[in-house]
Structure 1
Amino acid sequence: MRIRNSLVRKYFLVSLLGAVLPMVLVSALYDRYASALLEQITGERLSAQLASTASRLNAFFDVRVYQIETLSNHPALPLLAQAPLTGLDTEIDALLRIEADVPDLYGILMFGASGQLSRIIAGQAASGAPYWSDLAFDVATLPVTPASGVDVIGPVVPADGASGWFLMRQSLRNLNNGDHAGSIALHVRLASVTELLGGASLAGILQPVLKTPAGIFNVVGQPVTPSRQMVAGPEVLPGWQPMLVVDPDQLIKPFKTARHGLYFASITALLVIIVLFARLAGGLRQRVEPLTAGAEAVSTGDLNYRIKVLGDDEISLVATSFNSMASKLQEMFERTVRVERLAVLGEFATGVAHEIRNPLATIKTTVQALARSEKNNERLELLEDVGREIDRLNRVMSDLLEFGRPRPPDLQAVSARALLSRLYSLMNPSTLQASINLEVAEDQDHVTFHADEDQVIQILVNLILNAVQATPAGGSVRLQVARTGPSEAAIEVRDTGTGVDEAVLARMADPFFTTKPKGSGLGLSIARQLAELQGGRLEFFSTLGEGTMVRLTLPTQGDTL
């Protein structure tokens, strides 16, 4: 072999060029384009992040506005705002407590016509004034922002262990004369709003804050005074605006570090390539012939894949040896890959089934309890539908568990004649209901399988149900036993359905593959798995437009009973 034809030499030159050229290009172009690209990327990122934050804040305020407007429209509240603290109507009391008992509110406050605090309804988050403290509660000095028909009062800065808050107040009118009758206000946690800003992004380079009439607050509702550049987002209320604090130095620092790292990596790669290929060039020729001899020695199978042999270099010798070996290895490789994939899928399926089954049991118990006490027929029907869907999920979980941890077979003598008779008794009612004729051919050879009877029935029931579902009314499904070898026999399930094309046929037993709208895709996978555990196999044959035949081949125990 001539040195100029050596792939080592060719790869050395290409790799050397590939290591040097990027370094030269990076040096020439990096600084020119990095700044503009960074500005474009971060500008789009900031705009998108601020728009998303504003959307969340608007949604929060919309919910609170709807809540306060709904409460202010209650006909009894104007009188309640002016009435004494005692004698609260039970129905109104219950309504106000339900509305106040949400995590985002400290409570609901009512003010009289002159602005004095007249009623306090504490929520689950209530703390401090005016609920559990003697401190004065004065809102007269706080900034007021009209928005969406309500007044936003505050916010109040957290101080002395007390949390920040603001009010969303709606005026109440006397239904008789339309005069001002006081107001009702939601006492809102400031932290519930600032939490919607989200966390820092780009490794802490972008810090979200909220600008309000009372100052700027961070994500935990604490006042801050940013010293860096701030980018403003859309206003959600007059004077309320999400913003991002940007540190430009930190933003550009990773790019500078990456550039230096790239320079170092390119130089290192260049040195490594020179040393590596210098060693490979001297040792590769001595290693090619042993590799070729080893490939030919282990060639015990036939692979469909072939390497095209071109030229007269070292890889051409390996390609020739591979083509000789490939014809002997196909079946072993395919089986190994399939077994490993099934093992991984089995472990995954078992884990998923165990994690889902326990919550499903709790949900089912809850639905049953609700159904027993439900008087409304429409809601009762909905609960029953939920129960049925839970049962369906449980069946899917059972399939997953069976696929993940199949029971070892209990091998014994199983009469083919008795097996077919039992299957006919089990499946004939179902086939008659579907207007399908179930035919069972007589076992002339008196075959006795060496198999697990329960698992064989499970396999065949699954095959028959699939055949019935694939066969139109008036068709037929036929079972018959056939000898396939001196120590094995097969049970064939044939239908007169529409058949399937080659692409579907090749994947029929793949886990989670199904052509049914509501199928789990595990039935045929489990069937093939059970067949192989008993030393058998499952084969599929189909002609589009004529039907499908599935052959279950199992070891036999003897020729007669």
Structure 2
Amino acid sequence: MSVISESRLTTRYLWLSLLAALIPLVIFSWIYNAYFADLMTRVSEQQMTARVAATQNEMRSFLKERKYELDNLADQMDDARLYRSQAPKVLLEEFENALRLQVDARDVYGVAFFTSQGELSWTFPAALFSLGLSSQTPVTPFEGIELIGPAQSSEYFPNWVILRRPGSSRIGSEQPQGSIGLILRFASLTDTMRHLDQSRIYHPLLKVGGGQAFDTVAQAVVSDVRGDSGVEVIPGWSLHLIQDQGLAALSPTAQMRYWLIILVIGTALCLIWLYQSISRRLNHQVSGLIDSVERIAQGDLDSPIEPASGMEIQRLTLAIDRMRDQLKASIEATIDGERRAALGKLAAGVAHEIRNPLATIKTTVASLARVEQVEAHREMLQMVDEEIDRVNGVIHHLLNYARPSEPHAGKIDVEELLRSVVVLASASARQHAINIVYSCEDNMELWADDSHLRQILLNLLLNAMDAMKGMGGNIHLSAETSSTGQVILTVADQGQGIPQEVLVHILEPFYTTKATGTGLGLAVCAALVKANAGTIRFDSQLGEGTRVHVALPGKSSEEIV
């Protein structure tokens, strides 16, 4: 029978399961793309707007803090002589501590003093005097002060910006006083933008007066951003977010969408591969089971089914294998029953047609033997009488095999059974220089028909003697209890053993290797053992002898329950 894989239940089930797994995933992806993506975009934009506003406030706070420091410093530096081109050395020493304290701040490079005309007078430290201030440097007003710069970094000075407080006239003088300024580290101001930097997505820029733009480390960059497209920090200065270009510069929401698409496709491919693998494996296992069932249907009951992995398939395999064993046993029992029925009819006919004439012949031969005077004739008559007994024995075995008597089971003392059987067989054993030894556990009992069991053991002992004829030695008869509660009776001889090709047929009726055997002795034993709910098994090795194991119940079925 051919099986089309596409129509198999396993294949259809797996494909349906695959669709059931993929459809919710696709629906979820569509819902996310239609609803959640837009929501995430709005949430992301709101978060970025809040972060930009926070950065704007941080920049303004930075400038206001420096303005406050500048106001305090200006109040201390109220001597007009400080704003001359050359301040007196004595005066510098007087204000040096205050200046040095200000310069030690992290964000301050130094202090600059300007004349009333706005020209740089001198700086503290003096090395900053050559920082490159020119009339081209942009000036931006901020809350009553001025921001000069920022200026490009040079070989000697990094980027800087001067926060200058314009000069005022002294009381009682019409001449305006010069101005003072803090030379600030411009990178401290741009560093406040670092929280806005999203690598490979967008980066912040600070655009100042004059059209210059700076990044988070105060480096000038070329950008075409419009002045009105950002958030104003101070008049003329604005904060911008520049979106990167290309696939790597996608927004977080777009990136999430692409990653979701990749995840869906990857999951679908993995599921398809997984389901294909499972389908092939199940189809292979199911095909093996189908082939095994087809062999059983064709009559092959001897080939076991190969075990399969997987709990369900393994259980199904074991169930089919048990069915095969039971079917084989049922067929064998049916054949054996039919054979016994045929033999029963044959035995009945033989018993009727042969036994009665044999009885007459035996009686006549016995009478002739008593009156015969010639010794040679008497020996011939004796031989005829023995052959008549042999024919009667064959008929007796045939009747026992074909129609064994029903067992009348009861408790049997095993030790007493073995002792009595050994006594019965010892006389024949001594004639062949054979010693029979028996052993068993104390107070051991079994449940069987006593006469059947004696017949079985005597037959097995006689066979063991035949195997050891002319050799001598010991026959061991033993009994022990198995883990399942059965009593195992064992007859072990020291003969030559039985070849394997003979051993497989040893319980078949009329099968014998003896010149004078009927082939029914062991078959009758097997029938009697089976009638008493037992089993018989042979173990034999050439040159080592044979062991026959008879397993019988130790208790009745009512006691077991």
Scaled by the length of structure 1, what TM-score is found? 0.43
State the TM-score, normalized to the length of structure 2.
0.43
Q: Which has the larger radius of gyration?
A: 2
